[in-house]
Amino acid sequence: MNNNLIPGDVIKDRYKIKEIIGQGGMGSVFLADDSRLAGRLCALKAVHYEQNLPEDVIKQTRKQFKREATVLAMLDHPNLPKVSDFFSDENIDYLVMDYVPGKDLRTLMQEEKKKEKFLTERVVLNWASQIADALIYLHSQTPVILHRDIKPSNIKLTPNGIIKLVDFGLVKLLVSGEKTITVVHGHGSAYYTPLEQYGGDTGHTDPRSDVYSFGSTLYHLLTNKAPLEARQRFLESAEVQLISDINKGISPRTERAIVHAMYVHPDKRIQSVEEFKEALLGDWNPRQNPNGAMPAPNIWDLIKATEEQVLTLIALLMFMSSIVATLMK
């Protein structure tokens, strides 16, 4: 095994490399044939470790990788790719997962943007329901599993309409009283990274961190515009631009839920993915009723609508009064 895999190379006498399909600072992802299961394609993730890192850091990190790979291999959820194998060789660790066909959500968003259109709210909420289910499942594990790198390019839509969270690069297990080291060091993508995650493994991240990234992802998908980074918003005391200022077709309910998910301070943020899903969807299940009515407005939307109607009526009455007064002169 080596760092420069090319098509035709065979790893572990089983996985035949077809092509590279992803690359990052500390690893690469390859499309491979599984020779033991004819016709099965898999995604082979190779994680490299810099040799100039202290030996104890590399040892601890690789130990953490094996531990987390073991946990990931036990996961079974329709919106997560199945981890089927992991192994190591010299300075490389390998993670083998199901290959997920289809386009990622960033690509789908960009396709609409090129046409000067937005993804529809109904479609994005359908995706959001599935993303939420995957995150709720991860957060319900013992120990809790955080994804920590939710973003449009890490979410794929399969040809049969199923959403998959496809990258576990920054996954972290929350073990009480124990320091954890991520599989791949980093802080996620800045647009979607909560402020508390900028500290890497020294920062305090919990399920609310995934709520922030999830909300930021939906914001981007609905506006074609990446949100301001949390760090910039904190330093400048800046609020995120309202979705409705960019995309007029978004309901107040969806906008309000996303804004509350994206609060910089985690204590002010929506506290769980379950709560966020309820705020977004209520009783509407897009998979059971994809073409049915959108989520019903909550009481605050009704109050807002009533206020707007009253103001409109007052303005109309004032206008009519001015006309009557003019005619009576």
Q: Which residues are catalytic?
A: 149
Token digits for 135? 């995150």
Q: How far apart are CA 32 and CA 22, in angstroms?
A: 13
**CB proximity list for 135: less than 8 A, separation 6 or greater:** 147, 150, 165, 207, 210, 214, 273
What distance lies between CA 214 and its chain's CA centroid? 4
Sign of the Cα torsion 121, 122, 125, 131 reads negative
| 214, 201, 188, 21: CA torsion to nearest 10 | -110
Q: How far apart are CA 147 and CA 164, in angstroms?
A: 13
CA angle 183, 187, 191 (to 5 degrees): 135
Q: Which of 51, 54, 117 is nearest to 249 (CA)?
A: 117
Q: Report, in angstroms and rounded to the nearest whole number, the Rg of the chain calculated over CA atoms.
A: 24
